[in-house]
Structure 1
Amino acid sequence: MSFQNLTMHKYSSTLSVVALILSLTMLIACDKTPSEHIKTLTEDNYPVANMPDEPLETPLEINIEPKRLAMTNSWSAGVKDDGTLWTWGTDGLLRDTKTGQDPTPRQVEDVNDAVAVSGGGGHMLLLRKDGTVWGWGSNRYGEIDPNDDDTFIEELRQIKGIKSLVYIHAGQQASIFVDSEGKVFFLGNNETGVVNGNIQKKFNSPVLVEGFEYIVKAEGSAGAIVALSEDGSIVSSSSTLDSLGNPNAKKTTISNGKIYYSPVIVSLPKQAVDFTKGYANFALLEDGSVWSWRSHEWSAQKESKEIFIKSPKKVEGLSKVVRLNSISSNTINGDLYTWGNYVYSSRSSSTKDYIQRPIRIAQDIKVDQYGTGGFADYSFIDDKGNAWMWGDKSDRGQWGTGKITEDYMPKEFVLSLHESLFNTHANK
């Protein structure tokens, strides 16, 4: 055999071996379940939270700072420290665009007294310095103006019948308000009877929610309300026991056989300084520990046969946390962790799975505040006023980077931070 043929023979044999190894590797990979793929991902590239169970040296104070960043399923909004309102994304921009879409943050005219903004599934709320609340977006359940049959409010509209507000929350099919006296009010869909056990498709005006007193922060939807009182207690009411965080709550059967659980205190070992409501609910305690309840898949707990966590459980591996939302936390040393539902894609397929334990996706991060609204969970404003996003939700320009990205992206993109053009400082 000639030298050239011998070389080609060796080369072909080498290729065959490589092909065999690749084939075996692919077969092994295909045998892995999605959870095993996620496990490999988190352990190899994104460390799983494994911090010592140590409390903060100085206990945290209750966090009731006005929220400056919000997102719906279509657009986003931000409030700068000069009181101006900025929007970006698709529809709901409160300003003229050629196509109804603009992925670059731009100022809304005639608003210079904004304090806070909140986003829900399809509508937004704006708190102004005079304590009034204004809304725009979806009005299907009277979340903004129950006396208007229009299902989408395109301009800023004041919500009547309520004043002296200090906190606002745009939830799914509902708007929640807290006034200066610590009272909670509700506007929107109450077909579950979560508000006072009174089944009603929509209210004609904001309704006082009974059983919530001395409240500083409240979040809710058509099925549940969660609130933080000034003494650090978390109070909740719901149409299901799984959402309450207190398995000893007493149920009341209301009309049509529906169940209503009146407000109860969530069972926690220490004073809470913050909470967030989502598929799973989370509480941040004064010692920096994180506790969760409700949907197990979103709870940041280890794998379990439980579908719902009815009593709050401590999230293992997380300690010295100073900021959190329903899918992320930031520790005092600057680590940013995340968990929950993520979708990764390749050229040929996509994989959806739940990260069961918190994984670290960034370091040297100081979160000033997270965004509000389920679609804003993957966002925060840092201590320098810069807005950051991650995840797979910029297909309509919601990130404010000036570009549109596809809905599903590779894991390296999904779990990377992307800086928005929005900054809370007035001079940027």
Structure 2
Amino acid sequence: MPQNSSNAAISSDQISRYQDQFNQRKDAQVIERALTHQGILATSADYASDTDMSPVFSIDLDTGKVANQKQSGRCWMFAALNTMRHHLADLFKLSDFELSQNYTFFWDKFEKANYFYQNVLNTADQPLDSRKVAFLMTTPQQDGGQWDMLCAIIEKYGIVPKSVMPETYSSSKSADLNKVLNKKLRKDAVTLRKLSAENASDADIAAARDTMLGEVYNILCYTLGEPTQTFDFEYRDDDHNYHLDKDLTPKSFYDKYVGWNLDDYVSVINAPTADKPYNKTYTVEMLGNVLGGREVKHLNLTMADFKALAIKQLQDGQSVWFGCDVGQSSDRQKGIMDLNAYNKNELLGTDLTMTKAERLDYAESLMTHAMVLTGVDLVDGKPTKWKVENSWGDKVGTKGFFVMSDRWMDEFCYQVVVNKKYLSDDLLKAQAEEPTVLLPWDPMGALAAN
């Protein structure tokens, strides 16, 4: 039975008791002075983790300089393109090369608008205060995404070098563009719901939607530049040899210079919640970007299997896309992600500990950021720490690279993408199964956007 609200009101006696308890702490005033001047993080920082997280690894891939997503939520896109860039750089001796994040950003925004329109029409018979409609209208589109969503873009539109479609103001600082796009999409949702309510013909709805998409396309061209259709690829490799490859398309460039079969790369998650049994696959309702394209699909595995697959791929010399909750127990400036980075429990005299499953179930944690695993330190065959390539530029961490403790990975990593050749026969069979459809707000539907 719910507690009677009149009995649950805070009394003056309670406040007096709490004050007495606070004053009885001998260190209360010391802690108060420290926290009021320095804040929780600086005061609780445990510098012992600095030595534990030294950036030395038994497996350490040379991946060149880090990229910088600047003031945009494209981490998932940067991380995925970086894994492809690493491969391309090794093959063609292009250590400082980057793929165009602006090109894939353009098409992702465009496709997300169409995806939103479809979801609006699919839910047009539901009231505005239904949870699904409210979910759609809260954020019609955003910068964030997942691995499968970038695969859907590449499979349809290909990729290009950054030199062919470089960054613009709005790609590097996307807040204003997102506000405009979301305003437009909400306005278009009004029109589409009205047309549906009036039983407009499919042809009339399609015509209205076509006009809307044309307007979105124009906005994207104005802010991000017109998307490249054909181009020449001119470069000097690391040996200073000159190369010119003419009349390429984005798809022919991808086929020639990356050439991965993206179907070979699968998403593996670790979600130890009761609603997601291990060795089963999952997708998320209303999550995606390209209608008719690749769907988001996750294979849920134990953390032991999750890490073993990542290690196998690193041992073969290939970096690993991964998603995590980067804001948890991490020092951005030092580039350290470690459970011992801060000791808030001891400082504040409380227990903030939750299990990984509890954090997911109670909205304390979800995937917020995607990066790339480029190394691991194995001691007696077991991982102790991981090397991480971030996309926040070279002014943080060790020239942009972070160190993640293995215990931090256990608690706050949720997704890796690996070549399915590393999966056992049983896991391959499990991955091929039809996925269970999760609700739109499930934490495994979170978009990496930091």
What TM-score bracket applies, with the shorter chain setting the length? Answer: under 0.3
Name the structure, 1 or 2, with higher relative contact order (CA <8 Å, separation 6+). 2
Task: Determine which structure has the larger strand proportion and give its number.
Answer: 1
Q: Which has the higher helix share?
A: 2
TM-score normalised to structure 2 length = 0.25
